Structure 1
C-alpha cells in the first residue's frame, strides 16, 4: 500500500512511522523543512495542562503518550543516536481553584499520569526548593513527564530518512488534490508535478483549512499563536515542572527551562512581541523568583492548530474514500501525537483501534456548511 502524507510535523512523522513499520510505502511532503513548525515550538508536556478542563476525547488519547514515546525511543535510539530525553520531573500546579477538581479527577479516573497529592509548604520545599514563598500549597503530579520535542522530531526524521519504505519531499508544497469520482487520484505541486498514492493523509496542522475548497466543506481549524522563552540554568537545577494561571516552566535535563505560553489569534504570524514576552517572564518569575539570575537564551513563537474543544480529526474524510485526516490537535499535538498516529494506522489498515474512533471522525465536518463554490 502506497500512502502520501502532507505535512511533516509530529502528526505526519508519527503517522509515517506507524505506517512504514507495518510495511506501507510512505511519501512525506512538507512546504518547508520537516519538523520546523508547531511541533518544534511546543513545550512537550506529556499531558494536557489541567486535564479536567479538556474534553474526555483529548485525555483519552493523551494518556498513551508517555508509554508510546518510551517504546519508540527504545526502538529508535540505537539507530539514530538521538535520545528523546523523556524527563520524569513531575509537576506542581499552584492554582488554588483547581486543587479540589484536580484531586477529584485523579480519584475518578485512576489514570497513572494524573495521580496527585495536595502538598503543604514544607513538603513543597522538599520537592522543589526554588518555589516562591507566596505559594503555601500545590497539587503534585509525580508521574508527569516532558519530552524534548526538538530531539523527538530529529530522531523521527533521522529514522524515517533511512527507512527503506519512506521518501521525503521537503520544501515541496502540495497545493492541489486531484479528486475524481469521490477519490483522490493524485496530488499536485505548484509547478504542476503530480504524485500518485493509494491513500492521502492530511497532517497539515494549523494550515488544514486550506483544503476546504478541495473537499467542499468547512474545516474549523485555524492558527493560534503561542510564544515561549528559554532560560539556561545549571543541569537539573529546577527539579519539577511548574504551572500557574496556564503559564508553565518545563526543565530539560541539561538545565534549559522552557517557559510559556501565550494565546493570540494573529493569523500565521510567528513574530514575538515585547509585551507578551514580558507577561510570560513575569509569570515565571512569580513562580520561581531565582530564575532572574539566569540568562534568557532564546524566544520564539509557534502556531497551534485550534479546533472545536481541541478534539482532533482522525480518520477518513467525508465523501472521499481514500483521503484521511490527522489534524486539529490544538494545544496537545505532542501528547496526543503518538496515539493519534496509531489510531490512524489502525483505521487505514482496518485493524482493531486503540480507542473508539467515532469521536474523532472527520464525519463531524458534515455538520459544517458546504463551502460555497
Structure 2
C-alpha cells in the first residue's frame, strides 16, 4: 500500500518523525507556515522523554558555561510564555505554566565554588546567602551555604504541555499517526546535486511521501540515519523521577541542588528527579533509585522525609557525544531537517526548535547561528571515535 501525506492538496507536505514535544513543536510551526503535516510516532504521542521530564525551563540552572548552547536555551526561554499562551488559546488546555523561578542551592563548598564561577557570564541570576534563601523558602535545609536565585527559570507541567500541543495540532488539521513506526528514510535523486534527496519514510503501513521530512525521533534517530551512511553519535540516557505529595505545600519555587531537584506542581504534588544512567533502551525503574532520590530531596528539604510516595517512572533522553542537539540540514540528505538530540532540555528548547525548523523549511535565515548544531559535525565525531 502506498500512502501519500495528504490527498488532493496544493500545500507543501511535511512528515515529522517523532511525536515528542520537539516533533510536536516542529509540526506546529510548519502547519502555521502552510505545510500539510503528518506526525508519526512509534507509540502514543508524547509518551517518551517528553512526559518523563519535570518541566523546568532552566536556561540558567541547566547550563554550566557560556556559549552557543546557553544562548539557544535563553532564546527559547524568552519565547516560552507567549508560545504556551498560544497553545492554550487554540487547544483550550492549560500547560500549567508557573513563573516562580528556581533556587539553586549549594550544600558543599565545592558546589558553592562552581555556582559562584557562573556569575561572570550568567544572566538573570542573583547570589543569595543562606539566610536570604531560607527567607524565600523557609523549609530549606539549615545546611545550605547559599546559592543562585534564577527568577527567569520557570516551569510547565510536561504531561499537560503535551496534551495542549497535541490538541493544538489536531485543531490545526495536522494528522497524528500513533503506533506507526518509521522503519527507514526513503531516498530519491538529489535534483542535480551530488547528494540524495529524502522523499519520505517507510512505515509499518507502507511508504509515506512528502516534500519535507523532519527527524525528531530522539534516542531512536540513529537507526534512521545509519542506512544513509551517517552514524549519529547519540545514545539513550535513562532518567528516573518520582512524584510525591505532602499534607500542606512546602515550597513555591523549584529548589535544586547537585544531583536533585524538587519541582512543585499545581495539583500539590512534587516531581523529584532525576538520574542520568547510560543503560541502553532499558526503561525499568528501580527501588534503589527511588531511595537515593528521596534521600537527596530530604537533604535539601528536610520535610520531604514525611512525603507520601505517589509514582515513579523513567524516560530515555537523547544524549549526544558533545552535549549539543542536531539542528539543521545536510547537503547529502536534501529534504531532511534535523531536530534531534536535545538530551534533558527538550521541553525548554521546543519553541526555538519549532521556529528554526520552520525557517529552514521556508529557506529563511535562521534566527540563530546553527553552526554549532550542524548535522555535518556527526561525520567528524564518528571519524574521531574510530581513530
Q: Is 2:259–2:296's contact at 8 Å kept on the other side of the alignment?
A: no
Look up the match of 2:89: 78
Pick from 351, 355, 372: which aligns with 1:359? 372
Residue 327 of structure 2 is aligned to residue 321 of structure 1: no
Q: What number of residue pairs does the alignment pair up? A: 366
Q: Is 2:61–2:150's contact at 8 Å kept on the other side of the alignment?
A: no
Residue 190 of structure 2 is aligned to residue 176 of structure 1: no
Question: Deviation of residue 356 (structure 1)?
Answer: 0.5
Q: More deviation in 92-101 or 342-351?
A: 92-101
Question: In the aligned structure 1, how far is the partner of 2:309 from the partner of 2:176?
Answer: 35
What pairs with 1:148-167 in structure 2 (closer than 5 Å)? 148-164=157-173, 166-167=174-175
Q: Is 1:218–1:371's contact at 8 Å kept on the other side of the alignment?
A: no
Unaligned runs of 5+ in 1: none
The 1:326–1:250 alpha-carbon spacing in structure 2 relative to 1, beyond 3 Å, is same
Look up the match of 1:189: 203
- Indicate the structure with greater helix content: 1
Look up the match of 2:4: none
Q: Is 2:53–2:315's contact at 8 Å kept on the other side of the alignment?
A: yes
What pairs with 1:257-268 in structure 2 (closer than 5 Å)? 257-268=270-281
Question: Deviation of residue 370 (structure 1)?
Answer: 11
Look up the match of 1:294: 307
Compute the TM-score of the two structures, normalised by the length of structure 1: 0.92
Compute the TM-score of the two structures, normalised by the length of structure 2: 0.89
Question: Deviation of residue 100 (structure 1)?
Answer: 4.8
Look up the match of 2:268: 255
Unaligned runs of 5+ in 2: 1-11, 190-195
Q: More deviation in 33-42 or 332-341?
A: 332-341
Look up the match of 1:16: 27
Question: Deviation of residue 317 (structure 1)?
Answer: 3.0
What pairs with 1:193-204 in structure 2 (closer than 5 Å)? 193-204=206-217
Question: In the aligned structure 2, how far is the partner of 1:211 from the partner of 1:284?
Answer: 39
Q: More deviation in 312-321 or 41-50?
A: 41-50
Output one character per residue of 1:261-305: Cα deviation in whole Å (capped at 9) or x when no partner. 111111111111111111111000111111222211110111010
Across the aligned residues of Structure 1 and Structure 2, the Cα RMSD in angstroms comes to 2.1
Question: Deviation of residue 188 (structure 1)?
Answer: 1.2
Question: Deviation of residue 153 (structure 1)?
Answer: 0.7
Q: More deviation in 262-271 or 48-57?
A: 48-57
Question: Deviation of residue 213 (structure 1)?
Answer: 2.6
